[in-house]
C-alpha cells in the first residue's frame, strides 16, 4: 500500500502536514462514496486512489457501487448525453426504471455516514430513499453540464435540489440550485501504475507486446469509445497530417461497465480506420493502467479531441508525463491547457491537424510545453490537492455558521 509520506518528495512535506492537520481538525467521521462502476472512466480512477488515502488520514471512508441492468445503463447513458447537450428523449418508462433501480439499490445498502458523496446522475435518487442515513448529502457532478438539454436537466434537478450541497469541476458547470455549490477539480495520482515513472525498457516491453514499432512519431488518444471523445475527428485530423508527414496514430480505449454505447462507437472507429496500417486501435482491459502509462510515455503528441468534457483526466495524465497535449477547447480541458503554454486548444479536426503538424516540426517547443505542463499539474491537479479540497469541504459543511476557518 502506498503511504501518504511517499508523496512528500513530489509535492513537499508541508502539503502532507497540512492534510494531517485538516484531518485532525475534522475529527472522526464516516464518509461514504457511491458511484455506478468500479472500472472504466475517470470517477472510478479517482476513487480507487482517494478512498485508501482518506482512510489513512483517519477518515472512515467507504465506496459503494450501485447495480443496474442494461436498460438502466442505457437510460443513464442517455441522461449523461442529455446533460452534456444532446437532444435525447427520456421516456416515462426509462425514468420510472431509473427511479426503481435506485430504490432497489437503496434496499440493499446498510451503511450510515456523516457525509455521503454521490457521484454523477446514476445513483442520485438514492437520497430520496436513504436521506436519514447521513447527516450531509453532497452531489458530485463530474460531467460537462455547461449547456444541458433542459428537459433532462429539469428532471434531474428535482432530485439534486434535495441535496445539502453539490460539487462541480469548474464554475461554468454550476447551476441554479437552492444549496451551496463548490468547485473541486479532479486529480491524478503520481504514484499509481497509470502515472508512475517507467524505465525505457518497461516502455519498450509494452510496445513490443502490443505490436507497436517506434519507427515514426506516435500520436495517441486514450479514451472510452464515446462520441463526445470524438475519435472520428481524431482519425480525420490524423489523415490530414499523414498526407505530408509520416506518423502513426494509436486510439486506445476500453469498456466501462456503465457505458453501453462503446461497441457501437468502436465499430464506427474501425470502419473509419479501415485500410490504414498506421492507425492502431487498441481495445484494452480495464486494468491496463501500466500499459496506458507506457503508451502515453512512448508517444510524441497526446490528443484529447473531446467535444464535451467534464475534466479530462487523460489530459492531466499526459501533461504529467511531460508530453505536449492538443485538446478540444471544451469543459475541463480549457482549465488544463493554456494555449501555447501548457498545451494547445483546438476547435475542429483541421485545427487539430494543424497543431499536430506544428508540434511535429518543433520538437524543442514540444519539449518545453511538456515541461510547463508537468509543473502545472504538480501545482494544481495531483491527488494531494484533491484530498485537501475534500477535507476542507467536509470541515466547512460540518461547521456551525459563523465559524472562522484557518487552514
Query: Which stretches of the chain bind ligand UDP, using CB under 6 A?
Result: 41-42, 45, 194, 222-224, 252-254, 284, 292, 311-314, 317
Shortest CB 305 distance to ligand UDP, Å: 12
Q: How far apart are CA 194 and CA 188, in angstroms?
A: 9
Shortest Å distance, C-beta 275 to ligand UDP: 24
365 and 392 in contact (C-beta within 8 Å)?
Answer: no
Q: What is the C-alpha end-to-end distance of the chain, expressed in Å?
A: 28
What is d(CA 230, CA 343) in angstroms, rounded to the nearest whole number? 18
- Asked if 201 contacts 186 with a C-beta cutoff of 8 angstroms, the reply is no
Least Cβ distance, residue 156 to ligand UDP (angstroms): 18
Nearest residue (CB) to ligand UDP, 41 versus 324: 41
Q: Give whichever of 31 and 225 is closer to ligand UDP, judged by the CB atom.
A: 225
Q: How far is the CB of 285 from ligand UDP (least distance, A)?
A: 8
Toward ligand UDP, which CB reaches closer, 25 or 286?
286
Minimum distance between the CB of residue 354 and ligand UDP, rounded to whole angstroms? 23
User: In the complex with ligand UDP, which residue's Cβ is closer, 160 or 292?
Assistant: 292
- For residue 356, the number of C-alpha atoms closer than 13 Å in the C-beta half-sphere is 36
Q: Shortest Cβ distance from residue 210 to ligand UDP (Å)?
A: 13
Q: Which is nearer to ligand UDP, 16 or 212 (CB)?
A: 212
In angstroms, the CA 403 to CA 407 distance is 13
158 vs 287, beta carbon nearer ligand UDP? 287
The secondary structure of 56-120 as a DSSP string is: HTT-EEEEEE----HHHHHHHHHHHHHHTT------HHHHHHHHHHHHHHHHH----EEEEEEES
As measured in angstroms, the least distance from the Cβ of 297 to ligand UDP is: 13
* DSSP helix/strand/coil, 206: helix
Closest contact distance (angstroms) between CB of 340 and ligand UDP is 23
Of 68 and 253, CB closest to ligand UDP: 253
Looking at beta carbons only, is 42 or 68 nearer to ligand UDP? 42
45 vs 300 by CB, closer to ligand UDP: 45
Distance from C-alpha of 317 to C-alpha of 302, rounded to nearest angstrom: 10
d(CA 338, CA 341): 5
Judged by beta carbon, residue 194 or residue 280, the one nearer ligand UDP is 194
The contacts of residue 286 (CB under 8 Å, 6+ apart) are 39, 40, 254, 255, 256
Run of H or E including 121: none
**Closest separation in Å from C-beta 374 to ligand UDP:** 17
Cell of 296: 502515453
- DSSP of 315-371, one letter per residue? HHHHHHTT--EEEESSTTHHHH--BTTTBEEESSHHHHHHHHHHHHT-HHHHHHHHH
* Mutual angle of helices 363-380 and 313-320, in 10-degree steps: 110
Q: How far is the CB of 98 from ligand UDP (least distance, A)?
A: 20
Amino acid at each position: 500500500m502506498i503511504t501518504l509520506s511517499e508523496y512528500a518528495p513530489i509535492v513537499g512535506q508541508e502539503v502532507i502536514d497540512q492534510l494531517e492537520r485538516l484531518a485532525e481538525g475534522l475529527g472522526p467521521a464516516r464518509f461514504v462514496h457511491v458511484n455506478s462502476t468500479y472500472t472504466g472512466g475517470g470517477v472510478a480512477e479517482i476513487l480507487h486512489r482517494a478512498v485508501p488515502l482518506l482512510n489513512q488520514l483517519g477518515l472512515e471512508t467507504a465506496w459503494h457501487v450501485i447495480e443496474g441492468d442494461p436498460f438502466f445503463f442505457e437510460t443513464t447513458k442517455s441522461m449523461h448525453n442529455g446533460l452534456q447537450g444532446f437532444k435525447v428523449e427520456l421516456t416515462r418508462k426509462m425514468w420510472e426504471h431509473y427511479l426503481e433501480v435506485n430504490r432497489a439499490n437503496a434496499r440493499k445498502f446498510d451503511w450510515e455516514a456523516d457525509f455521503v458523496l454521490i457521484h454523477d446522475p446514476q445513483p442520485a435518487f438514492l437520497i430520496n430513499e436513504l436521506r436519514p442515513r447521513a447527516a450531509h448529502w453532497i452531489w458530485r457532478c463530474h460531467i460537462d453540464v455547461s449547456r444541458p438539454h433542459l428537459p433532462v436537466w429539469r428532471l434531474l434537478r428535482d432530485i439534486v435540489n434535495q441535496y445539502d450541497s453539490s460539487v462541480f469541476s469548474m464554475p461554468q458547470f454550476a447551476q441554479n440550485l437552492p444549496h451551496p455549490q463548490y468547485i473541486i477539480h479532479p486529480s491524478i495520482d503520481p504514484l499509481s501504475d497509470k502515472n508512475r515513472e517507467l524505465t525505457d525498457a518497461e516502455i519498450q516491453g509494452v510496445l513490443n507486446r502490443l505490436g507497436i514499432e517506434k519507427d515514426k512519431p506516435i500520436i495517441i488518444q486514450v479514451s472510452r469509445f464515446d462520441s463526445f471523445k470524438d475519435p472520428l475527428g481524431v482519425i480525420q485530423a490524423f489523415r490530414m497530417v499523414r498526407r505530408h508527414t509520416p506518423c502513426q496514430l494509436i486510439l486506445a480505449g476500453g469498456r466501462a461497465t456503465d457505458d453501453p454505447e462503446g461497441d457501437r462507437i468502436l465499430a464506427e472507429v474501425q470502419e473509419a480506420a479501415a485500410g490504414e496500417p498506421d492507425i492502431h486501435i487498441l481495445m484494452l482491459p480495464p486494468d491496463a493502467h501500466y500499459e496506458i502509462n507506457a503508451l502515453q510515455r512512448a508517444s510524441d503528441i497526446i490528443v484529447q479531441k473531446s467535444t464535451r468534457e467534464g475534466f479530462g483526466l487523460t489530459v492531466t495524465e499526459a501533461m504529467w508525463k511531460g508530453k505536449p497535449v492538443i485538446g478540444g477547447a471544451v469543459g475541463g480541458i480549457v482549465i488544463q491547457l493554456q494555449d501555447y503554454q501548457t498545451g494547445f486548444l483546438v476547435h475542429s479536426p483541421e485545427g487539430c491537424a494543424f497543431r499536430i503538424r506544428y508540434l511535429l516540426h518543433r520538437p524543442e517547443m514540444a519539449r518545453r510545453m511538456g515541461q510547463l505542463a508537468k509543473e502545472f499539474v504538480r501545482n494544481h491537479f495531483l491527488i494531494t490537492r484533491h484530498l485537501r479540497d475534500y477535507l476542507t469541504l467536509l470541515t466547512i459543511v460540518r461547521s456551525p455558521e459563523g465559524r472562522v476557518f484557518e487552514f
